[in-house]
Amino acid sequence: MTTPLAVTVPLDQGRAYDILIGRNLLDEAGTRVAALKAKAAVIVTDANVAALYGERMRTSLEAAGLRSGLVVVAPGEASKCYATYAQVCDGLLVHRVERGDLVVALGGGVVGDLAGFAAATLRRGVRFVQAPTSLLAQVDSSVGGKTGINSPLGKNLIGAFHQPRLVLADTATLDTLSEREMRAGYAEVAKYGLINDAGFFDWCEANWDGIFSGGPARDEAVAICCRAKANVVVRDEREDGERALLNLGHTFGHALERLTSYDSQRLVHGEGVAIGLALAFRFSARLGLCPGQDAGRVANHLALAGLPTTLRAVPGGCGDADALVEAMAQDKKVRDGALTFILARGIGQSFIAPGIDAAEVRAFLTDELRAA
Interface residue list for its own copies (CB under 8 A): 39, 82-83, 85-86, 89-90, 93-94, 98-100, 117, 120-125, 146, 148, 151-154, 157-161, 238, 332, 334-336
- Catalytic-labelled residue, pool 32, 243, 258, 301: 243
Q: Which of 150, 156, 196, 247 is catalytic?
A: 247
- How far apart CA 101 and CA 87 sit, in angstroms, is 19
CB of 60 to its own copies, least distance (A): 22
User: Taking Cα atoms as reference points, which of 72, 270, 85, 296 lies closest to residue 180?
Assistant: 270
Measured CA to CA, the distance from residue 344 to residue 248 in angstroms comes to 9
Tell me whether residue 317 or residue 355 sits nearer to its own copies (CB atom).
Answer: 355
Considering beta carbons, is residue 160 or 358 the nearer one to its own copies?
Answer: 160
Active site annotation includes 301: no
Query: Is 250 an active-site residue?
Result: yes
Q: How far is the CB of 150 from its own copies (least distance, A)?
A: 11
254 a catalytic residue: yes
Please say if 229 is a catalytic residue: yes
* Per annotation, catalytic residue among 95, 155, 250, 301: 250
Phi-psi region of 105 (alpha: psi -120 to 50; beta: other; left: phi over 0): beta
Pick the catalytic residue from 188, 237, 271, 368: 188
Closer residue to its own copies in complex, CB, 146/191: 146
Distance CA 291, CA 10 (A): 36
Spell out the SS3 assignment of 153-222: CEEEEEEEECCCCEEEEEHHHHHHCCHHHHHHHHHHHHHHHHHHCHHHHHHHHHHHHHHHHCCHHHHHHH
Our CB check for its own copies shows the closer of 152 and 288 to be 152
From 89, 34, 35, select the one nearest 62 (Cα to Cα): 34
Task: Check 32, 58, 95, 146 and give the catalytic one.
Answer: 146
CB of 92 to its own copies, least distance (A): 10
Min. distance of Cβ 96 from its own copies in angstroms? Answer: 8
Q: Are strands 102-107 and 127-132 parallel, antiparallel or unpaired?
A: parallel
**Is residue 269 annotated as a catalytic residue, yes or no?**
yes
Nearer to its own copies, 332 or 370 (CB): 332
- Within 13 Å of residue 170, how many CA atoms lie on the same side as its CB? 23
Report how far residue 118's alpha carbon sits from residue 201's, in angstroms, rounded to the nearest whole number: 35
Active-site amino acid positions: 124, 146, 188, 229, 239, 243, 247, 250, 254, 269
